[in-house]
Amino acid sequence: MNLRLAILPLALALSLPAVADAARGFTVRDMAYMDRHSSPTLSPDGRVLVFAKRVVDKDSNKSSTSLWIRNLATRDMRPPSRLTPEGWNVNSPAFSPDGKSVYFLSAKSGSMQLYAMPVAGGEPRRLTDTAVDVDGYKLSPDGRQVALALAVFPDCKADLGCTRKKLDEAGAAKASGQVFDRMFIRHWDTWNDGRLNRVFAAKLGGEGMAKGGTLLSGDIAGDIPSKPFGDLSDFAWSPDGTSVAMSVRQADREEPWNTNFDIWLVAADGSGARNLTAANKAWDAGPVFSADGKTLYYRAMARPGFEADRFALMAMDLATGKARELAPKWDASADGITLSADGQWLYTTAQALGQHPLFRISLANGGVEPVVEDGSVSAFDLAGPTLAVSRNSLKSGDVVYATSADGKAPLRAITPSAGDMLPDVAWGDYEQFTFAGWNNETVHGYVVKPWNYTPGKKYPVAFLIHGGPQGSFGNGWSYRWNPQTYAGQGYAVVMIDFHGSTGYGQAFTDAISQHWGDRPLEDLQKGWAAAQRKYAFLDGGKACALGASYGGFMVNWIAGNWNAPWKCLISHDGVFDQRMMGYATEELWFTEWEQGGTPYDVPKQYEQFNPVNHVSAFKVPMLVIHGQLDYRIPVEQGIALFAAHQRRGVESKFLYFPDENHWVLKPQNSVLWHDTVNDWLKQHIGQ
């Protein structure tokens, strides 16, 4: 099925009238407190599905997650049943190789540990009793061993008690100062305490609980999983369980400006670490062994220092060390690797034209086929004849579906959609559109109607600008920047995937580097004009622009370079001073790639598109939002932006979160964020 044609049914929805008798639009409280479903996990034979369900307690402002189970072999209408007991908060489900048990992590004992329980039901059994939290795990193919991810002090080696003692001593110390002699001193939202993420192999099936294991990554000075968002998808057992492969970046003084992750092959007894991808100085990730153990599949970038390069799919002959690209003509960046049981296909998701489909690639000839096209596939599992996927869209969070391995059978919904959970809500219909942007190249965007759309009426507009900058605002669901929360307030929404966005080919993505303020701005200007020409219900005289991260930078840039169309602006965690950003961010590779070097080597690059140089043109009311724990774009950027507006006498507000990072994650903080943003919009454009 052609991906472009798949979008047509979505476009047709825009021509239909909204539900006339709908009670209300979607609100932030709906979004913050609705149930979420994730982690589809299949039994080895593909007959049983386990998934995670997250619920929020409004009073405690905390969430908890349980596991639920569904027998896919039955076609009755019985809903899934709860697997884990009431009162347990769990994550990371996995089946045992025989399909009789489900493993998961839980902090029920007071620390995060590994548990197992029968698929047929019963009480969870604790399998580990480590002195530090288990941050992740992966079972060996035969189920006799488990890899455990633990954060330990390198000089403690495999002695977990040593790490526990050091942590306790630090907590009891009367002096709080800490001396650093190299970066990272902090990363994302956490200060560096000297620990590294390491992987240990522990035996399963014996008496008692595992208190430690064999240190597998001891000879490799780096974090596995990588910080802050890595997981054990960067770790793989060989089919016979005698060796492992892992993707690691060296934790040395160059780490903050380095993206060189290498794949290491290590014996399961922790000996003989060998770097398989030393020749590639860019990012190598996600190793997966073939069924016979002779081939290692992985993903590889080509350009050192660039975090948003294309991930190509690679296959390495382990006997010779020679690697080849599987689908060199496929201009997409693969998210991961899952092999089919018959060894003929490699499954992966990738962004494509404003959507996030699931594809499969022939291992024989590199041919690419779409499997699940519409919307955004956030996770999937493949076992036996069954494919399970979590898919979301602009009208619903993740819904877990089951289908055939090739995706040709109808999708069978296992969990409810947002519409099922909120039957009294009317959703804003949406349509993708295109226009000629920078360099006369095709640029895509989406328009979302207000929930209460009436033909012939005009509506004020929320103009959303995505972050990244190598990102996308497409046909997917977000719990932070969700167009339906604006459509639910009676606004129309416009989103432009400007040059630099992902899913349109690597050259399109590359176009933004060293061009933060010209090419994307041109796309936004032309997209805004094109949307108004195409959609008569957009009230261009009542519009506000808002964005976060790079989107926040662009709002700051717009404030001094394109402020005429806007009645108000909203900047969340955006760069205000490029020069200071080049020194203060913890991920130096990001600014140095995007600006073409360091602030002292190429100062003109940092000043070329620097919002701080255009404060004299600020005149549009701005709401500034920032979190204290944001170490990607430090809070001083937001404080300075607010100060600039205050000093010039421009109407402005500052929303500050002392306990949030680059994102706003706590449910009640999210509600406050949206209430403040919506109040700002209403104050300046009505509704």
- What's 562's domain CATH number? 3.40.50.1820
Residue 532 confidence class, pLDDT cut points 50, 70, 90? very high
Which pLDDT value is given to residue 78? 82
Residue 390 confidence class, pLDDT cut points 50, 70, 90? very high
Q: Kindly list the distances between the CA atom of residue 424 and the CA atoms of 24, 26, 352, 398, in Å, as whole numbers in the listed order.
A: 7, 9, 32, 19
Which residues is 118 bridged to in the sheet? 101
Q: Which of 74, 99, 119 is the last residue of a domain?
A: 119
Q: Helices 519-534 and 550-561: crossing angle, nearest 10°?
A: 80
Q: Which of 65, 84, 119 is the last residue of a domain?
A: 119
Which pLDDT value is given to residue 22? 52
| Average pLDDT of the segment spanning 252-257 | 96
Is a pLDDT exceeding 90 seen at residue 455?
yes
Spot the catalytic one: 499, 662, 674, 684: 662
Which run of H or of E encompasses 527? helix 519-534
Contact assessment for residue 63 and residue 56, using Cβ atoms and an 8 Å cutoff: yes
| Average pLDDT of the segment spanning 318-331 | 98
Is a pLDDT exceeding 90 seen at residue 297?
yes
Residue 226: inside a domain, yes or no? Answer: no
3-state secondary structure of 676: helix
Sort residue 429 into left (φ over 0), alpha (ψ -120 to 50) or beta.
beta
Which residues is 186 bridged to in the sheet? 191
Q: What is the pTM of this model?
A: 0.95
| Average pLDDT of the segment spanning 19-24 | 63
Residue 608: inside a domain, yes or no? Answer: yes
Residue 186: inside a domain, yes or no? Answer: no
Is a pLDDT exceeding 70 seen at residue 415?
yes
3-state secondary structure of 464: strand
Which pLDDT value is given to residue 4? 36
Give the ranges where 422-518 is alpha helix by DSSP (H).
Answer: 483-487, 506-510
Beta strands 442-448 and 492-497: pairing type? antiparallel
Q: In this predicted model, what pLDDT tens digit does every residue of 102-151 receive, in sequence order?
A: 999 999 999 999 999 999 999 999 999 999 999 999 999 999 999 999 99
630: annotated active-site residue: yes
Which pLDDT value is given to residue 58? 85
Residue 2 confidence class, pLDDT cut points 50, 70, 90? very low
CA-based radius of gyration for the chain: 25
Residue 28: inside a domain, yes or no? Answer: no
Which pLDDT value is given to residue 16? 40
Which pLDDT value is given to residue 218? 86
Spot the catalytic one: 38, 243, 396, 549: 549
Domain span at 56: 35-119
Is a pLDDT exceeding 80 seen at residue 19?
no
Beta strands 196-203 and 145-152: pairing type? antiparallel
Residue 21 confidence class, pLDDT cut points 50, 70, 90? low
Residue 458: inside a domain, yes or no? Answer: yes
More confident residue, 77 or 218: 218
Which pLDDT value is given to residue 438? 98
Q: How far is CA 415 from the centre of its chain?
A: 21
Instruction: Give the residue from 29, 101, 3 showing the smallest Cα distance to 352.
Output: 3
Is a pLDDT exceeding 70 seen at residue 450?
yes
Q: How many domains does the chain have?
A: 2
Q: Which of 119, 146, 164 is the last residue of a domain?
A: 119
Contact assessment for residue 376 and residue 393, using Cβ atoms and an 8 Å cutoff: yes
Contact assessment for residue 451 and residue 27, using Cβ atoms and an 8 Å cutoff: no
Q: Which is it for the CA torsion 152, 212, 199, 118, positive or negative?
A: negative
- Both tokens assigned to 502: 């992902």
Residue 450: inside a domain, yes or no? Answer: yes
Query: What value does the mean pLDDT of the chain take?
Result: 95
Beta strands 412-413 and 430-436: pairing type? unpaired
Residue 348: inside a domain, yes or no? Answer: no
| Average pLDDT of the segment spanning 178-186 | 96
Contact assessment for residue 398 and residue 390, using Cβ atoms and an 8 Å cutoff: yes
Percent of the chain with pLDDT over 90: 93
Residue with tokens 């992987």: 199
662: annotated active-site residue: yes
187: annotated active-site residue: no
Residue 553: inside a domain, yes or no? Answer: yes
Spot the catalytic one: 630, 645, 674, 684: 630
Q: Cα(460)–Cα(532) distance, rounded to whole angstroms?
A: 12
Which pLDDT value is given to residue 134? 98
